[in-house]
Structures are given as structure tokens and as C-alpha cells.
Structure 1
């Protein structure tokens, strides 16, 4: 039998870890504080000790130079932070969080396993997904799958493949918004459209409420100084604001006691005031949902929604349900807001492992290796798993468009580089496309092909609006036979079920061929090994 697998929701503001319990049900494992979710905040106490969670969060402003939060928003970027003379990347800091989650999960359950499934927002591109996998590697874990958060939530909600239905998942977490539309059938789970914003989440509502309370306090206390400039005041208020937000989800008003110097005021905030201060944020989420629905209608004309799932802790706010009902007239299904994604990851982990066991049991000799690899390598979508004893396939869409850098005549006849997209966001995976190209210059003896991934919410031909994903090894034709301008180059792009892109190019005159696979990562192998050693040498502070 395969090892047990932990399912991890590596969140922007809070994380959770789950496993399948002795009764075959997904169960979130409580942390040492007794909570089911852990703040995704790291406090570096020294060069070898760290604190993750509530204690780190409570001191975030006071010890701002030693504390990191919202690191998920930087995954897949070259951000560097330094603590006690050591350089940390987003993957390293996420690795510390993952290490802490698995450490306490092992202690609580007695499960001796390093196998994990980690969730990511559905709109994460290649860099962010690979960064998440690397974070697991840095933590000393065996990442057996990367699954998108909406699919995990759907699994947690009890997806049944014996009933055909269309499903929309609205996932508003602490730091990100994800909207995914999928179809469920006997064939499995088919993602049709995914959209979202990695910089929009509950933390933005917290900030708006923070500003609202601070402004009311200044007015009530007739202050000439700004209390927010005081770190102790700001830290206390930031902590109180989150509790206040939760209260306003249950009651029409809440109060926060604010103290600054000799000024002491009980500041009352009504739900109506909070909703007015955050109306623009709610509007952004609704617009993203509408945008996703419009794309889905293009792909499947007349598509309706049998169920709409609310996922993510910030979806608890009444304003979210009210806005979605007002705009779309939906009847909404509430999930285990904070816990659904981690539970779904655990369900996937068990299902993938069960499929492996089943496949291996029916194989002999060398077939075992070829059977085992596809289910456990790389991303989860496009893979088979066993749910309720039945093989189910999860298929996905391309989260971001991928193209090649071409050159054309620009102003004044000068060469103008631009990105020509071969594969477009929301296209179903796997896919393969071909593109006819030709040389721009005369007497070409060397030609490099550059592969790019869309960065913004919409495609842009501007090179700097995109991210190059050409492997470090490069993709260059050498020793070409002095090709004249306009010589043909045949380009094809294949993207597999995992979202990994393979570019092939052929120069027919010489017969030369190029084949490159974009396994994009910001951290190179040497840096990855160094980060792994750093995290391995660190321990939780008692």
C-alpha cells in the first residue's frame, strides 16, 4: 500500500493541512494552538529558529524587519529578503511554512510520511506552480501533486460523477480571488474557465476596515497626530480589525477600543459602513466572475450553473453573497470556507495513491514504473484518481497564454519585436498548435527561439508585458546555411495536461530541429539546494 498523503492549502493569509482519518474521511489537523488554520506568517527569531503562525502574526508590525506575511503573492518572482545575513526567496519562506505544517501534523497524527499534495490558485502560471513545488522540495517533502484550489474545493464538496452538472466555484481567500467554472460528468471533472486576481483578498478588506476605524478614532479623539504611525497602536488595531470583520459577518455593528497616549475611545463600526468602504473590492470580484462567465458562454453557448460554491474564509462576509445574488440571481452553496481546499487536497492525495496501488497491482515487471509515474509527477490536473472505487479524470485549461517572440517592420521600417501567442488562456488541455514563421534578416546562420508566458490579465504583444520561459539551456539553431530573408521556420507548441509547454521548431532547408520544454523556475538548482539546506538546519522556536 502507498504512504498516507497530507493535503495542504498553502494560503496567502492562512494555511491548513489535512489527511484522511481512520474512518476514511478528510480531516483538518489542528495546530499546537488548537486552531484548524495557521496564519501564513513567519517570524525569524534567529539564524536557526523560526516561529510560524499566530505568535508571528501578532508581532508582525512590531518586529517587521524579522517577519514575513503575504509571501504567496510573490511566488514565482525573484524577490529576495534577508534575515540574519541569510537570503530568503519566496519559495524558501513558503518552505518554512510547509515544514512547520507537516511537522505538527506528524506529531498530532503519528503519520510518518513526507508525501503531500499542495494547492494553488487556478490562474497560477508555470512560474508560480513550479515555485510551489520547489517550496515543498525545500521543506524536505515529496510533492506528489499540485492541484488547483477550486478543484480541491469541488472534491471536498462531494463531487459525484454519476450526475452531470455545471459548477462555478467562487473562492475568496485571505489574499487571492479565484473563479473557476467546470463541468462534472461520468468522464470526470472538466475545467472550462478559470480567472482571478492574485492581489485581491480578505487582507484588502482588513486594510479598508483598518483605515475606517483609524479615521473614526482620529475624529472622535480630536487627534492632531496620526496614531497609525505608532507601531504598537497599528499592531493592536490590525489584530482587532480581523476580529471586528468576523463580528460584522454575524452582527450589524461592532466596536473596537482604541488607545493612543491619553486618548481612549470606543469606536463603533456598522456593517453598512464597512460595506460602503469595501464596495469597490466586492465589485472587482463580481466583475471577474462576469468575465469568466462570458468566456464560458463562448466555449459552451447556453451554459447554466447547477451549483455555485462559496469557498474561502472571506466568502463568509454577507456582502459577498448579497452581491452575487443581486448580480446573477444565484442560490449559493456554502462550503467549509477555510477548510474545504485542504480537505479536497487530502481526498485527491488518497485518490491518486489508490489509483497507483490499483495500477501497480494490475501490472508486472517494468510496466510498474511507467504506470506509477504519470499519476504522481507534476500537476494533478489531467491525471486519473480513484474516487469511490471509480477512476476519475481531472482535466484543466491553460491559465495563461503562451507565445513566441517574433519580429516585424515597425515605425520607419525598424525591426519591432512582439509576442505572437500560439496558445491562449482558457483553451482546454492538452493541446497542440502549429505556426508558420520565417526569418526576418538576410544571411541567417544562427537563430534563437524565445518562448513567453502572458503576465497580465489580458494578452499583450508588448514583450515586456510578458515573462520569458525559455529554458536556461536556450533554444538556438547554429550553423544554418546562410538563410535568406523570408526562409520558412516551422514552429509547433504542445502543452500537456499539466500545463507544461514543449516547443518544437524545424528549419527545413538544413533539417535542423529544436525541442525545448518550459519547466520555468526562478530558483535554479544550485540556489534550490542551498535553500533546502537552510530550511533543514532551522527549527521551530519553543
Structure 2
């Protein structure tokens, strides 16, 4: 049974909804300075998800102390006061070892308490409960999980499938660390994408390309690094589901990066400039170095970031830092010229990175069609000028959203991988920036049986991510392969693969059938969707003689003979059929006389059966290839990969923190509710409306309860049970609610009186309509002159009018009684008459009024129908008399016609009430 693609898509969406999973996908651009999230939801355009501040990007900052966390701008706001518990730029040390120069620079910049683990990784000591340390992966995972929460809060969607963009220069360790962070966070990764590739995808989304490739350069200057990507674009005719169509091909042919060139480095230099000026101006007043003051250094860094942002558009800016260090205030004017001087040497880094990217991709500057700028560095005019100096202003392009191109490209990639979206068909070839080579000992051979080492470049620089490859070698023995990754200093060992089971595989075959005594060993490897190298399997491949081949040849000969016999028999049958047809063409008389004889003499050949054909024997090759799986033990010699127990532990700690945060939120809500209620009661008794419905004693009771609760809160604010605060609030509600109810009671009286007035207006309109219609049609409402069939309905209307008059009198009596009661009531006690009594008396009167309206309308329709019938009869009668005076000869005929018309009119009169009923029903 075949299902349409529409049915399959619909079923998938419904199934996802049943499981509580949304078919929507995400793109996450996790940067060192900020992160952005984009959502693709079926039926809606791709767009950025807003955060809690309604902003399109969120600072990549986490504050954590105990089990309390703050994210984004909230974390930034406390960073100057709590620098030791605020983590900035965790991405820059993701996958970095403790002894790396990048980690050392990070420590000097932020001063966090960082520890070295047994494998050399970094963990933070942030004073968590149970002396728990947090890895960099934990920090990143919390921020990615926060991104999912923002999607849920903003879009009311529980989406988890995502493409995450990463710096192109990420190697095996960084990619592994990001993979582990994603797994801890709960994001379901569709894959990683190089940030340069995501920007290139965004560039291709709205453009068409020719068949000849065109080359563009993408310069992405972020907070932590600068990546220069060279990509080619072209259109290619290909078959999709049997239909030829043009698709866009985006090829990331290579890139270069500088991890020291970014906005963060500019901030660092500006901070150093501020601190140096401060030290020079206050060296005689300071007792201790400002550099040992973490809060002062954090404030200076925050101010440096502000200065950098302002100087992108202004020529100067003033910095004011009150009580920066030892209660010393400091102010400073920074000019754009001073800032550009601070970063002047970065321009050479910039030029070197561009030159390196051209060299690695074997491109010339003239081959670059345009230079597209992305990232936060696009707002630094000095860097844009340097870029223009290299390529010329005409080649500098700003036709993408520099801030959001990466995240939109990522979500586009995610949508293109899902069957739920119809997006432009763009084929991306993403690449890995480091070469990998395999080293192993060749099997001993020759006279002296010596083996020689073999080095094979199995993945050249910028190899395709996601493509499976095979390493082949010929041997009889087990062996081990060393895998080495490219570094600045050459190649470094990072993994080994032990291949075993080769001798056993050889023994499984009949030696007489094997053509190659030494099997070919195929080792499969790939860069998976994370760009992480892995060995996926190994096989021993044998070329063998096919034992079934002789039988196949014999069967094929037999089949060919059978086919010849079938052709011969078929030909004989056709000739016999022709002979039979010529005999049957003789005269009918002869045929009928000799029919029995002819049947007896019909030759047997005419009934010869043609043998059935069997299928052609399945083709067999003389030689076949046989693959026998081998055992593979793949080991990372230097790994930062978290174990499953590590990931589970990290996941559990995050869940415990989230539970603690939820409990804290409930506790905080309970405290705030009590505190706000105490404050409310303090001024509540002074309101005119409250004074009107209370006496002096009651107001004193309320104030006393409020004071008692305030004292309790002051003495017990450290309690951690929300129920205790709720109990105190309920005590206050006990004295407050009766007063609030009385205030609401007297406030609502005017509304109830308006309901009475509205009811009487409707009643008056009904009565006026009835009087008006009755006055216009007196004979129809007079029992002596009206049609007898209307008398019962006229009686019903009179009864309803009488009943309604009685009900209205009761309403008036109730209103009068209520007014007297209210006028004489003590408003400090609960009222005697509930306001629901208004609804009861109105509803009691509305019943007869509604019946009266319906009855009256029904009678109007019937009377109007009867009047129309009479007018029709009068018109016919006048026409008949006119015809009679003009044609006397037709008297007899006219008389007969009148008799017939009279009968017809009588029938019409009998039918008219039904017609009236029908009209009423239609109305």
C-alpha cells in the first residue's frame, strides 16, 4: 500500500504532537559574546527568537552561586559585583586544556578559580553545594538549555532539534567538547556547521547562480576570533526524485582564522589602557594594586566594552568609574585615534589571515568576486578600512545582516534536513580545517622479512564532513593504525585502531577458491555530523572463484534450448490455427452436414500446447568478492570526551539546580505575596471605600494583623518553607476578605440597578410595539371582528400581559425593599440581601416577557398573511367584474369561473394560517 507524501507529512506532525515533540527546528549561533536562536516552524517564516528582554541576541554570560543562576543581561548586571561567580566567553576555552596559552590568557583576563583535572581539562570552582566543580561543557550546556527555554517561553514551542554553528577553526577536541555540551543540554543535534558555511548559506538563500562557479570571501570578525572563509557558488542540474532541476551548490573550499583577533581582544586592550591611566594618576594614593581587585578589573572591562561600542560611531567618549578602587573615583576621555592606535597591530593580523586564506585555497585576490562582512567586527570602521585597502572599496559587500546571517543560515540548514519544510534546494559541502593521516607498518615481505612504515594522508585539509571513506591495504596479519591530526608543529597522534581477525577470516575460505592469498583489508572511516573523526568498521575482502558459475552456464544452455522449443511449438500452433480457419470458410451447408465428421478428423497438431516459459536463470559471475567483517578497537590516545557517567552526572546536577531554582521561585513568590499584602493592608484602611464599610474596631484589627505579620516576616525571612509564608498571608486574608467583599457589594449595586433599568426599557419597547400594532389593526384584535382562529392567541397574549404586570410589580417591590434595607443598613456588617436576588427577580420577569414577545411576533405574521390574502381576493374580484361588463357573451363562462374562483378562495382561506405559520418559522 502506498501513502502520499502529504499523508506521511501530516501523520508525522500529528505523531510528533502526540509525543510532545514539535516538528519545528532551531538554528543556534553560540558565540563567545552573545548567542542567537532562530526558529523554523511549518507554515511560518524563519525568524529570530526574542529573549526575556525582547532582544534578538542574548549575552553568553552565566552567573552561578550556590544553586542560583542568572543568564544573559541579568548576569551581566551583577558581574561587576560578583566577578568570581560570573562566567564570560566560555566558548573560547571549550575543549582547551588547562596548560594551554588560551586558558592562561583567560585566567589573567577574568581571574576565575580554575582547576586542572586528571586528563588536563579545565573545571571551575564556583562555590557550588557539595563542593561540585563545573566543567566548561557544563557552563555551555546550561546556556544552550537556556536557549531552549527562551524558545518555549517566547514561541510556546517545545522544539529541540537544532543545528549549532561553531568556529571553523574548531578541531577534534573542541568539537568533542561541544558535542558533549549539547548532549548535556538536552538539545537534539542535527549536526554542527562551520560559522563561515552558515553565513555562506544565508548569502545563497536569496540569490541565483550560473553554472560557472563564482567565488566570494566571507570575513567574520567575532568577539573571540576572526575567520576568513572562501566559498564557491554555482547552479547544477541534477535529478531529484526522477525530475531534473537546478540546485544551488555551496562549496566551502577553505578558510583561515586568528584566535587572537576579535572584539574581546579590543576590550582587553582598552581595559589595560584604562587601568594604566588609573595607576599613573593615583599611584601615590593606592595601598594595593588595582590589578588584584577583581571587582575593579571587572568594572573596567565592562566600561571598555562600552567605550569600544560608542567609538564605532563617535570620535570620543568619556569614561566615569566611581570608587573604582579604594574609594578613588576615576574619569577619562578616550578618543577614536587613541583606540585605533591601541589596535593598530591587529591590522597586520587581519591582513595575514586574509592572505593565509587565499594561500590555503589557492586563490588570488582577483578571483574573489566580493568580500562579504559578517560578525560584530563589521561595526569597527578601522577594520573595514583595512579590508578596503586590501581589496578595494568596490569589492566590499554589506548585503547580508552581519549579526544574524550565521543563525539564519543555521536554521535554514536545519529546515533543509527535515521533510516538514519546503525550502530552496541548496547543497552545502562543509569542510574540516585540519588534515589527518594514517600511519601503520606494512606487512613484512621480501627476502629478509622486513616491514616498512606507511604514512597515508587519508583526509587532506578541508575534506568534506559527512562523507564515508575507505583505507585499503593488503595483508594476512592483524595490525594497528595510528591516526595523526595536523597541528601548527606538524602531525600529532590522537587515536589508534587495532584491526584483528584477519587470520581467522582467511581460514573461513576454501583456499582452492581464493584468488588472492592476501586479502585486501578495507578500513572505513568518516568525519561524522559533528566533524569528529571515527573508524566505523573493517572488512577482509577476498576475490574468489564462484562455485555456482558452472551450474549457471549449464542451466543457461538448457534455458536457451527451452526457448527454441517454445518458439517452434508456437509457430506450429499458429500454422494449425490458420489451416482450421480456411476449412471453416467453406459453405454453410457443407459445414453443417459434415460437422460431426470434421470434428472427428481434426488433426492432433491443431491442439498442440505451447510449453510455458520460465524466467531466465539469475546471472552469475565467474569470480565474486566476499567481505568478512573484522574486529576494530578504536581508541583515542588523547581524549577530552566525557564518559556516559560524566554526562549523566552533569545532567543530574543541572536538573538539581533547576529544581532548586523552581523551589526558590516558589519561596520568593510566597515571600513577595506576603510582603505586598502587608504593604497593601497598611494603606487599605485609609481608603474611603474601606472606611465606609468598616468601623474603628475592624480597622484596628486589620492594622494589628498587618503589624503582626510584618514583625513575623522580619524575624522569619530566612525560612525556606513557602507554606509558612502562605499561612501568614491567609491570616491576613481572613480579616481582609470580608471587608473587600462588602466594598465590592456596595460598588456593584449601581450595576444591578442598571440591569433593572435595562430590563424595564426592553419591557417598555415590547409594550409600545404591541400597542402600536394593535392600534393600527383594531378589527384584528377585537374578538367580535377578528378571524375566530386568532381568538386563542389573543387570549394567551392578554394572560401573558397580566402575568408580566404582576412580575414587574414584584420587581418594583423588591427594588423598593432593597433600597430601604440598604439605607438603614450598618455597612460594617455583611449585607442581608445578596446581590444574586437581583438576578432572580429579573429572570422571573424575563420569562413571561420573552413568551409575550414570541407570541406577539407569531400573531403579527399570521395577521399580516391574512391581510395579504384578502387584498389578493379583492384584486381578483375587481378584475372579474371588469371582464364581465366588456364581454356579455361570456356570462355563462364567467359565472362558472367565479364559482371556481370562490371555491379556490375558500381553499386559500383554509390554507392561510398554515402559510402564516410557515412565514413565522422562516422569520
Offset from partner CA, 1:399-448 (integer Å, 9 cap, x none): 2111235589xxxxxxx999864322224554747576999xxxxx8743
Which of 127, 130, 133 pairs up with 1:87?
A: 133
Q: CA deviation at 1:120?
A: 0.8
Question: Which residue does 1:112 correspond to in 2?
Answer: 158
Question: What residue ranges of structure 1 are gaps of 5+ in the alignment?
Answer: 359-385, 409-415, 440-444, 482-486
Q: Distance in 1 between matches of 2:176 and 2:44?
A: 30
What does 1:92-241 correspond to in 2, within 5 Å? 92-160=138-206, 162-164=208-210, 165-186=214-235, 187-221=248-282, 223=284, 225=286, 226-241=289-304
In the alignment, is residue 453 of structure 1 matched against residue 472 of structure 2?
Answer: no
Q: Residues 421, 200 of structure 1: CA spacing in aligned structure 2 closer, same or farther, 3 A cutoff? A: farther
Secondary structure of 1:36's partner? coil
Q: CA deviation at 1:319?
A: 1.4
More strand by share: 1
Q: CA deviation at 1:93?
A: 1.3
Q: Distance in 2 between matches of 1:437 and 1:276?
A: 61
8 Å CA contact 2:228, 2:255 repeated in 1:
yes
Question: Which residue does 1:524 correspond to in 2?
Answer: 643
Secondary structure of 2:434's partner? coil
Which of 354, 369, 384 pairs up with 1:321?
A: 384
8 Å CA contact 1:58, 1:235 repeated in 2:
no
Secondary structure of 2:198's partner? helix
In the alignment, is residue 424 of structure 1 matched against residue 460 of structure 2?
Answer: yes
Q: Residues 292, 261 of structure 1: CA spacing in aligned structure 2 closer, same or farther, 3 A cutoff? A: same
In the alignment, is residue 396 of structure 1 matched against residue 430 of structure 2?
Answer: yes
8 Å CA contact 2:495, 2:634 repeated in 1:
no
Q: Flag the structure with larger Rg.
A: 2
Q: Residues 518, 251 of structure 1: CA spacing in aligned structure 2 closer, same or farther, 3 A cutoff? A: farther
8 Å CA contact 2:251, 2:428 repeated in 1:
yes
Question: Which residue does 2:781 correspond to in 1?
Answer: none
Q: Residues 116, 427 of structure 1: CA spacing in aligned structure 2 closer, same or farther, 3 A cutoff? A: closer
Q: CA deviation at 1:202?
A: 1.3
More helix by share: 2
Secondary structure of 2:373's partner? strand
Q: Residues 236, 527 of structure 1: CA spacing in aligned structure 2 closer, same or farther, 3 A cutoff? A: same
8 Å CA contact 1:398, 1:424 repeated in 2:
no
8 Å CA contact 1:194, 1:397 repeated in 2:
no
Secondary structure of 2:425's partner? strand
Offset from partner CA, 1:226-272 (integer Å, 9 cap, x none): 43332332222211111110011101211201344464343111112
Offset from partner CA, 1:107-157 (integer Å, 9 cap, x none): 111122222221111222233234323322211221223222122223334
TM-score, normalisation: structure 1: 0.78
Which of 393, 396, 406 pairs up with 1:341?
A: 406
Q: Greater RCO between the two (CA within 8 Å, min separation 6)?
A: 1
Q: CA deviation at 1:495?
A: 3.4
Secondary structure of 2:361's partner? helix
Q: Distance in 2 between matches of 1:249 and 1:141?
A: 36
Q: Distance in 2 between matches of 1:319 and 1:417?
A: 52
Question: What residue ranges of structure 2 are gaps of 5+ in the alignment?
Answer: 1-8, 14-22, 97-120, 236-247, 443-451, 505-517, 543-627, 666-923
Question: Which residue does 1:54 correspond to in 2?
Answer: 73
8 Å CA contact 1:489, 1:505 repeated in 2:
no
Q: Distance in 2 between matches of 1:490 and 1:22?
A: 47
Q: Residues 529, 184 of structure 1: CA spacing in aligned structure 2 closer, same or farther, 3 A cutoff? A: same
Secondary structure of 1:297's partner? coil
Q: CA deviation at 1:312?
A: 1.2
8 Å CA contact 1:244, 1:254 repeated in 2:
yes
TM-score, normalisation: structure 2: 0.47
Q: Residues 302, 210 of structure 1: CA spacing in aligned structure 2 closer, same or farther, 3 A cutoff? A: closer
Q: CA deviation at 1:217?
A: 2.9
Which of 248, 252, 259 pairs up with 2:315?
A: 252
Question: Which residue does 1:285 correspond to in 2?
Answer: 350
In the alignment, is residue 536 of structure 1 matched against residue 599 of structure 2?
Answer: no
Secondary structure of 1:292's partner? helix
Secondary structure of 1:32's partner? coil
Question: Which residue does 1:29 correspond to in 2?
Answer: 49
Q: Distance in 2 between matches of 1:184 and 1:235?
A: 45
Offset from partner CA, 1:179-219 (integer Å, 9 cap, x none): 11111112421111022134542111100011112222333
What does 1:363-512 correspond to in 2, within 5 Å? 387=423, 390-405=424-439, 421-428=457-464, 430=467, 432=469, 434=471, 447-454=479-486, 456=487, 458=488, 460-461=490-491, 463=492, 468-470=494-496, 475-477=498-500, 494-495=525-526, 498=529, 499-503=531-535
In the alignment, is residue 66 of structure 1 matched against residue 67 of structure 2?
Answer: no
Q: CA deviation at 1:52?
A: 1.5
Q: CA deviation at 1:21?
A: 7.0
8 Å CA contact 2:223, 2:263 repeated in 1:
yes
Q: Distance in 2 between matches of 1:420 and 1:82?
A: 44
Q: Distance in 2 between matches of 1:276 and 1:438?
A: 63
In the alignment, is residue 39 of structure 1 matched against residue 59 of structure 2?
Answer: yes
Q: Residues 262, 392 of structure 1: CA spacing in aligned structure 2 closer, same or farther, 3 A cutoff? A: closer
Q: Distance in 1 between matches of 2:183 and 2:297?
A: 36
Q: Distance in 1 between matches of 2:473 and 2:489?
A: 20
Secondary structure of 1:54's partner? helix
Which of 306, 319, 333 pairs up with 1:268?
A: 333
Range that drifts further, 193-202 or 238-247: 193-202
Q: Residues 518, 113 of structure 1: CA spacing in aligned structure 2 closer, same or farther, 3 A cutoff? A: farther
CA RMSD of aligned residues (A): 3.6
Secondary structure of 2:642's partner? coil
Q: Distance in 1 between matches of 2:524 and 2:365?
A: 31
8 Å CA contact 1:45, 1:51 repeated in 2:
no
Secondary structure of 1:450's partner? strand
Q: Residues 534, 72 of structure 1: CA spacing in aligned structure 2 closer, same or farther, 3 A cutoff? A: same
8 Å CA contact 1:422, 1:493 repeated in 2:
no
Q: Distance in 1 between matches of 2:42 and 2:473?
A: 57
Q: CA deviation at 1:325?
A: 1.1
8 Å CA contact 2:501, 2:630 repeated in 1:
no
